[in-house]
Amino acid sequence: MIRGRSRWRELSVSLRDHCTLANRIRSQFYSTRPKAPPVIFSGIQPTGIPHLGNYLGALKQWVKLQNDASPDTTLLYSLVDLHALTTQEDPDQLRQWRRDMLAALIAVGLNPDRSIIFYQSKVPAHTELMWILSTNASMGYLSRMTQWKSKLDLPDDSSPFDAAVKMKLKLGLFSYPVLQAADILVHRATHVPVGSDQSQHLEFARDCANGFNHNYGPVLVAPDTLLSPAKRVMSLTRPHLKMSKSHTDPKSRIMITDSREEIERKVKSALTDSVSGISYDPTGRPGVSNLLEILFHLQDDHDQASPQELAKIYEALSMRAFKEQVSGCIEHHLRGIRDAFASLVRGSDRKRLDEAMMLGTNKANQSAQQTMDSVRNAIGL
């Protein structure tokens, strides 16, 4: 009996040494293997013409990523119109919003010849991979996600199995993160630019990739986070809330297509305070601080390192003079975007918009097809 235990111990040590050696070889192989070129993916819902918050929070960053990326980097920017179906929209309105958002992406500086810009619904592989991933997605994990709770205005401890929640919660909204994961994984994205409030969804995408790879081998790429700098542009009329199209007052937001007169009128009526001088104090002076942050994020070269430093330049100005500076800066920055958008939607560049859509669709389908060939082969289809 003792001899048997000794033999078992010897065998265990032998197996452990073998596994250690195998892991070391595998580690050396992957460390010496050439790294795949970067693939950056990001998506935006087609909610029509973007406002200044959309532009500074995401689109301006997308253009910077495109312009700064190495030549071997693949960039994919998707208009996630299937996600938009989780809220009931008028079909004609959705068609118009899709086209407006496509025009906006090109108008702000995304180049269809450099970046792959496409409608999510034009690439069937997104929904095919979603179904495959959903066969192993954990209901428990999904129930802890915050997306469906915030959309339904529910407490953080809500459960999809609560009787009251069952009546409100639709499957599409609940499984939203699975489609979001498929959006990323189907293109083998290595990096995804997200804000801190979206890190939970990217973690779920990594979980889906790792779970699939555990079952079927190294097929999917688990993406890394490319954390975008927080650029929260607040409402002009209610500076404690984010700028949003859902606000009933149109003066609360500046659209990227607003005219000079509209920009001046909205900034002039922006809620500030009666304190003399200009200073940066998000808690005590949220309206003034929001305008300073807008000015700061509109800088291309960031001569001032922070909104606090920028405030020192304008500290002696009256509120009226300061708002004139803000509106002038916004108008200067958006003028070219506004003109490009008008040309794409109603002017001589309308044909270019259709060509960009077709080019992006073809490239995105080719990208997704490579992944799906490997996925189908791995699962036996």
Question: What amino acid positions are annotated as catalytic residues?
Answer: 151, 242, 245
* Contact between 286 and 240 (Cβ < 8 Å): yes
Instruction: Cite the DSSP H helix spans in 33-170.
Output: 52-54, 60-68, 91-107, 125-134, 139-143, 147-151, 163-168
- d(C-alpha 77, C-alpha 112), whole Å: 10
Taking each helix axis from N to C end, the angle separating 350-379 and 199-216, rounded to the nearest 10 degrees, works out to 40
Query: Side-chain half-sphere of 19: how many Cα atoms within 13 Å?
Result: 6
DSSP helix/strand/coil, 118: strand
Tokens of 26: 């595998």
Distances in whole angstroms, Cα of residue 88 to Cα of each of 60, 83, 173 = 29, 11, 12
What CA–CA distance (Å, rounded) separates 323 from 329? Answer: 10
Q: Which of 177, 142, 169, 171 is nearest to 153 (CA)?
A: 169
CA distance 295 to 280: 12
Using alpha carbons, list the distances in angstroms from residue 275 to 77, 184, 317: 43, 48, 12
Q: What whole-number distance in Å separates Cα of residue 219 and Cα of residue 204?
A: 17
